Amino acid sequence: MATNNDIEKRLWAAADQLWANSNLRPSEFSTPVLGLIFLRYADHKFAQAEATLTRKAKAGQGRRRVGKVDFHPYRVRELSR
């Protein structure tokens, strides 16, 4: 799996290529760049969730019962445990 630093370098390289090889004006450039920033954010959040799940699996927490708290937003769930 690529590290965050590798992904960041690839995203910036893609933005540089887009800037150099397109006829976009600076005011139009924000839309694709914001997409790249969102992809970076999504990758970061996925990596955090994956680490949390891996840590819990290694801790030996097996199956558990589904309860009311499982239908709350993530932060509420974490605070109630």
Whether the pTM exceeds 0.75: the reply is no
* pLDDT of res. 64: 66
For a pLDDT cut of 90, what percent of the chain falls above it? 1
Q: Which of the residue ranges 21-35, 42-56, 65-79 would you say has the lowest mean pLDDT?
A: 65-79
Pick from 54, 32, 72, 37: which is nearest to 80 by CA?
72
Spatial neighbors of 29 by CB under 8 A, at least 6 apart, are 18, 19, 22
* pLDDT of res. 30: 78
